[in-house]
Structure 1
């Protein structure tokens, strides 16, 4: 279905509190014939607004100048700078997820405006750790995800500091450095699709990925609320810096994108609205559909793997029926 189709009267829209008026959009860079204007609009929207791309980028800039230790210090594994990296991750995650949760779900600063699901976050439900969805999500995010992410980041920084892998400098290699920076989100989407498909295999889903999918109705803390084993897979995306010549800032941006963009994409609201003004694009209906219907939209809208492999849900009732038929076929084999 073309992405400019009006879905406001589609039966699927009745299943949501808020349903975007048009079909889910995918990155037009993969369209044929080429659509240069659409590509320009896509990347302008991604990089020149407050989005799940620019917020991690700004966070990475701030943390690089204020927190990240010099490489010389990281030549030896010491508890001081390792703790500093862990604290950096925890504070960044807590600040963004905590602020969004406070505004959207505690203060209810914009009520139900642009909220996808009609339901509130779950309380007093034994499926969640501590019988509470938010506390469950905080535990798996700060306990599991931040631990694994920090270990991986520290190992890569230690290897960089000792000169065991090729690195680059923004001053000496500006063109490559900027190109690689721009491609990191695309690499992240490619890696995520294949890891995510693996996690939906029955055994891994039942014992590992089901922890994340407890969140049918998602909130900011749901983003990387994952089982330990899932985080061991999810954060292997960072290991590309052991192969591709990188600068510590590349790794830091990658880390903030991998850790903070899910906070926004799982916010449960399409936009952050303050005093009737749109402040930021937050929630991602593409991924919201995955949490409701499970066997669709495994990747991201950045690379259209789901469209190529027949698992794309564009937000229409027809796509819901296809997804349900696909799911039924999977579980009756």
Structure 2
């Protein structure tokens, strides 16, 4: 009974935390793009398509499934920790301060590599429809697309957490920070408006992806697989060659369609993008 009680408590905690992170990140990005900076963001639209309420409902419903399965991974990490296998720790003094400082950037680098290669693998024609097709139904992504995955993709994405917990010692606050960085980054990349300044792709920050970088992936499928950084795409030759030009056009307001009335930060479109055929 004590074991079941612990599992229930862990499950309630991780479900609430994962739901909170998803709703917070998607809401913040939607409010910024559709209300606080509406005029500026509308000018920086990347696609002429407009997501509709049907798209939002689909994305949220599949995201709830993702949250439930991610909860199972959270429970697993807690149980592994109780068994003395997981390497999460709670006292800063358990490891040198230099490790506490570099561990967050290290996890982000590892996650970027993991994401690139698993993401690219899911685009293989033999597995695309089974793992990644559902996410790409959102041809015009919104912040709510962030967790819109099929069951197979949920497990592939979620597997990163226990793998890291088993191999790298991390303070619980560092791990929590990483989870928030990941979901906010995810929601931003799916916002459909370009947040970054025009000079972004002409300096050292060009090594970090932008909303345009990921939006082009949703439009064209085969390319721009990176999450945080552009390194892997450029090393492997999978970055779209016109990415920087499209980015500049988005920043300059040359890609957006005619202004339309919006509801809740998402422009309405009677045609939408539902029913479009998605192929690998």
Q: What TM-score results when the alignment is normalised by the length of structure 2?
A: 0.72
1:285 to 193, 209, 212: 212
What 5-or-longer segments of structure 2 have no aligned partner?
A: 198-207, 247-279
Classify the secondary structure of the residue corresponding to 1:121: coil
Give 1:160's aligned residue.
81
Counterpart of 2:60 in structure 1 is 138
How far apart in 1 are the matches of 2:21 and 2:228? Answer: 25
Q: Structure 1: which 5+ runs fail to align?
A: 1-72, 124-131, 274-280, 320-330
Deviation at 1:211, TM superposition (A): 0.5
Q: Which residue of 1 aligns with 2:262?
A: none
CA distance in structure 2 between the aligned counterparts of 1:159 and 1:317, rounded to whole angstroms: 44
Q: Distance in 2 between matches of 1:74 and 1:89?
A: 22
Residue 203, structure 1, aligned to residue 121, structure 2 = no
Instruction: Give the 3-state SS of the residue equivalent to 2:61 in structure 1.
Output: helix
Q: CA deviation at 1:217?
A: 1.2
Q: 1:249 to 1:269 in 2, by over 3 A?
A: same
CA shift digits 1:149-172 (9 cap, x unpaired): 221122112322442344444234
Going from structure 1 to structure 2, the CA distance change for 1:119 and 1:166 (only over 3 Å counts) comes to closer
**Correspondence 1:253-292 to 2 at 5 A:** 253-271=177-195, 284-292=211-219
Residue 267 of structure 1: how far off its partner (Å): 0.8
SS of equivalent to 1:112: helix
Q: Distance in 2 between matches of 1:140 and 1:84?
A: 20
Aligned to 1:50: none
Bigger relative contact order, structure 1 or 2, given CA contacts below 8 A and separation 6+? 2
Q: Distance in 2 between matches of 1:284 and 1:195?
A: 20
- The alignment's C-alpha RMSD in Å is 3.1
Pair 1:304-2:231 in alignment: yes
Q: Is residue 175 of structure 2 the alignment partner of residue 251 of structure 1?
A: yes
Count of residues in correspondence between the two structures: 232
Say if 1:151 and 1:317 are closer, same or farther in 2 by CA, change over 3 A.
Answer: closer
CA 1:246/1:107 → structure 2, altered by over 3 Å: closer, same or farther? closer
Correspondent of 1:101 among 30, 37, 44? 30
Deviating above 4 A after TM superposition, structure 1's stretches of 4 or more consecutive aligned residues are 73-76, 105-108, 316-319
Q: 1:295 to 1:210 in 2, by over 3 A?
A: same
Question: Kindly tell me: are residues 89 and 301 of structure 1, through their superposed partners in 2, closer, same or farther at Cα, counting changes over 3 Å?
Answer: closer
TM-score, normalization by structure 1: 0.62
Structure that is richer in helix per residue: 2
